Structure 1
Amino acid sequence: MAIVDTGDVRLHVQRLAAARPTASGATAVPDATVVLLHGLLTDSLASYYFTVAPAFAAAGLDVIMYDHRGHGRSGRPERGYTLGAFVDDLDTLLDRLHVRTPVHLVGNSYGGTVAFGYALRRPERVASMVVIESEPATPPWAAKLAGLLERVRHEMSANEAAALDWIATHHGGHTARLAKSAGRLVRDTTLAQDIPASAVLDDDDLGAIRCPVLALYGADSDLAVQAPRMRSLLPHCETESLPGHQHSVLVEAPGRVRDLVLYWVGRHSRPVAARAVRAR
């Protein structure tokens, strides 16, 4: 575990070194760095640590994952939660970690939204992106997040005990503890106001994203309708639908996510990474 001070917030970072090549044929995707960006409120880097991150390192990737501001073991400032602040954190973190080559961004849910913002801000630092159950920051996205965050704030302020009891009964004690922390984040910081007020993107902005993008969606998810839009707007975008899944693709189908990401990174890394693991 490491704590990186960006000058604005202290970020909890985990880094997994790439496995060393073996005499029989080395690793699957050597000489590439992947940065894993988690979702909002109840999520943290743990969702990667206990699913795909170790497999990425074993395949030869240098893995960087961190808790967003306000989440996990990172600092929780009272203010400063616009999407731009999350993008700033990523940029400064790569500087602090002395990452000089373009990285592959993997963003789950809100983490994908951060990835889109970063690819526009610093295109020279992004080799490719994989977004999982995610969408860019557009006006409909901002309206949806405003409603979601206000609902969380209201439910966790009006009758927190009843809400947590219901969550514990239907989803277990661990989820209830995560919900309690998320409720405090929404209630005690400006996150619920800042995120919907973030700068949004139009179609021309999305068309300016030149790096290759792979967008993964649960076939039964509300976000699955984003697939044709992403293919039409992003110059170099492919999409993949995972049957039988909704929003929790990362934790429900980690093997499939692993294979798709390794194949994608292998395709879009330097020539030495030609022996990529192909998705099944």
Structure 2
Amino acid sequence: MAAANLYLDPQIRDWVLFPITLILVGVLRHYVTQLLDGTPKKQPILVVREQRALLRSQILRSSSALSPLAPSAYSALSSHLSTAFLTGTYLKVQPKRDANGLVVVEKSDVPVPPPNPLSDPSQMEGMMEGMKKQMVMMVPNFLIMGWINFFFSGFILIKLPFPLTLGFKSMLQRDIATPDMDVRWVSALSWYFLNLFGLNSLFRLLLSPPPLSSDNPHLASPNTTSSLSLLAGAAPSGSPPPPPDFQKFFEKELENLEFSEGAYRWAGEGVEERVRAKWGM
């Protein structure tokens, strides 16, 4: 026999389904996480200078195809950044130079062992920051999950519009001990978990501030040392990422600047002819 159809009270939709979907899972959890999260540590001015120099070069490259800068201004700025990247002007730790002012690259056959994170205060601080962020993410989730489990245990919220196999029954019908119910019906606690893992990226996109650089999202804020270190190389499992090597970043950016100069085009080129053609002058 076919399973009997269920009719849900509209108040369940208005007072349980919508708050769990929009408020509890998305907006409330986002702002509770921001309140519990600690204030980001201010980076030293030399570290910010390294990151902003790289960001400045990327912005210059991204607008080279139709640049608002005149050819003389673009060439001067590109030459200044290229010289600074070549000589290491923006590095917080200045490299060693010879008598002619060139950077001396020291090569050694003995591999340098990675620093011990337990003896490095900066590494220990990074590990503690990661643990605090994980705890901050867990506390709101447990509070909201307990609130839903206490007040709405056994509630049926929604019916999925597509058929599913019996293997999804334990995942979609938590707190409901009814073996004959259609698999497409979703309980309150299961709906919370579906929204928690399925809409997390969407709420992060809508509620988080946009990055400053679309070319490299790791340079969106000055507090991105750990993110930049991932670009330099993968860290061993269970250990903090290594500090970023900005000298390698600057060498790569120097090559990118040379390539972008070939694609440079001034936005004001031929503007007189375009105005005459548009207005018939």
Where on the TM-score scale, by shorter chain, does this alignment land: which range?
under 0.3
Structure that is richer in helix per residue: 2
Q: Which has the larger radius of gyration?
A: 2
Structure that is richer in strand per residue: 1
* Greater relative contact order (CA < 8 Å, ≥ 6 in sequence): 2
Taking structure 2 as the reference length, what is the TM-score of the superposition? 0.19
